[in-house]
A and B are shown apart, each in its own frame.
Chain A
Amino acid sequence: NAGVMQNPRHLVRRRGQEARLRCSPMKGHSHVYWYRQLPEEGLKFMVYLQKENIIDESGMPKERFSAEFPKEGPSILRIQQVVRGDSAAYFCASSPTSGRTNIQYFGAGTRLSVL
């Protein structure tokens, strides 16, 4: 049973470019979460999605950031016009639809570097 898959593992962008981060949840999971970890800090919640719905985006910056989880395919976190401050590790997590729904299982992360 494959875990949460994130790609790419490393992404380098120049200031002003767009970054697209992908996340495929574990099989049988329909809830996806995105977190960001800045150096020397804990993980900060960004957004919680179910298929075709954004449930909670209270942690998303108001501008340049968007997320989606389409009916088919992976969840996408999109950052437009990246700035140096966007450099961080971005983690995706998923949780099951039933059973232990409180437990989130994490992918290996995408490390974004903005030059």
Chain B
Amino acid sequence: DQQVKQNSPSLSVQEGRISILNCDYTNSMFDYFLWYKKYPAEGPTFLISISSIKDKNEDGRFTVFLNKSAKHLSLHIVPSQPGDSAVYFCAASDGGTSYGKLTFGQGTILTVHP
């Protein structure tokens, strides 16, 4: 039962352009969403998060958008840089009985070409 889905296994973008990574979820109890970046042989690094009471959160080049009615969130990176090349995971949690447990998507490999 894949409650968090990242349907694009990979994304290729030119340096300086916008990268848009998408994530869908099915569990309406999820109320907090996070994006992590992961390089090979390293652990995931926290990027940005958003609570379900908001529809947008911005931090520098990274913006996360949440559409609760569509159960969809996206991460925008602008401008994209070669150092952004990594695997990006979205994750979700609910504040109820499953507090503390993050449910991850399968990841999207982002490649930013110079």
Contact = CB atoms under 8 A, between A and B. Distances in A.
B60 interface: no
Counting chain A residues whose Cβ lies within 8 A of the other chain, the interface size class is 20 to 34
B101 A41 contact: no
Interface in B84-114: 89, 91, 93, 98, 100-107
B74 interface: no
A103 B89 contact: no
A45 B103 CA distance: 7
Which of A40, A42, A56, A91 counts the most B-chain CB atoms under 10 A from its CB?
A: A42
Majority DSSP secondary structure for residues of A touching B: strand
A54 to B, nearest CB: 11
Contacts, number: 64
Contact of A56 (B32, B100, B104): B100
A106 B104 contact: no
A33 interface: yes
B43 A91 contact: yes
Closest 3 CB pairs of A and B: A106-B43, A42-B104, A48-B100
Interface of A: 4, 6, 31, 33, 35, 40-45, 48, 55-56, 58-59, 91, 93, 95, 102-109, 111
